[in-house]
Amino acid sequence: MSSCVIAPSILSANFARLGEEVDAVLAAGADWVHFDVMDNHYVPNLTIGPLVCEALRKHGVTAPIDVHLMVRPVDRIVPDFAAAGASVISFHPEASEHVHRTIQLIRKHGCQAGLVLNPATPIEVLDYVLEDLDLVLLMSVNPGFGGQSFIRSALTKLRRVREMIDRSGRSIRLEIDGGVKVDNIGVIAAAGADTFVAGSAIFNAPDYQDVIARMRAEVARCTLC
Ligand code: DX5
Ligand code: ZN
Ligand 1 proximal residues by C-beta, below 6 Å: 9, 11-12, 34, 36, 68, 141, 143-144, 146-148, 177-180, 197-201
Is residue 117 a contact partner of residue 123, using CB atoms and an 8 Å limit?
yes
3-state secondary structure of 141: coil
* Helices 18-27 and 208-222, axial angle in degrees (round to 10): 40
Q: 60-73 b/e with 16+ CB inside 10 Å = b?
A: ebebbbbbbbbbbe
- Per 3-state DSSP, the chain is made up of helix, strand and coil in percentages (nearest 5) of 45, 20, 40
> Which structural domain range is residue 204 located in?
5-223
12 CA closest ligand 1 atom index? 9
144 CA closest ligand 1 atom index? 6
Q: Which helix (H) or strand (E) holds 135?
A: strand 135-139
Active site residue 177: yes
Catalytic-labelled residue, pool 36, 39, 134, 194: 36
Q: Which residues of the chain have pLDDT under 50?
A: none
Neighbours of 200 (CB within 10 A): 17
Distances (CA, A) of 130 to 46, 88, 148, 166, 170: 29, 15, 28, 11, 9
Catalytic-labelled residue, pool 39, 66, 177, 194: 177
Is residue 6 a contact partner of residue 31, using CB atoms and an 8 Å limit?
yes
Instruction: Report DSSP letters for 44-67, one per residue.
Output: S-B---HHHHHHHHHHT--S-EEE
pLDDT value of position 64: 99
Total number of domains in the chain: 1
Helices (H), 16-147: 18-27, 50-59, 78-83, 99-108
CATH number of the domain where residue 115 is located: 3.20.20.70
Using one digit for the tens of pLDDT, what is the confidence trace for 116-133? 999 999 999 999 999 999
How many A from CA of 208 to the centre of ligand 1?
Answer: 17
pLDDT value of position 1: 55
Which residue, among 139, 144, 81, has the nearest Cα to 112 in the 3D structure?
Answer: 81
- Please, what is the end-to-end C-alpha distance for the chain in angstroms? 6
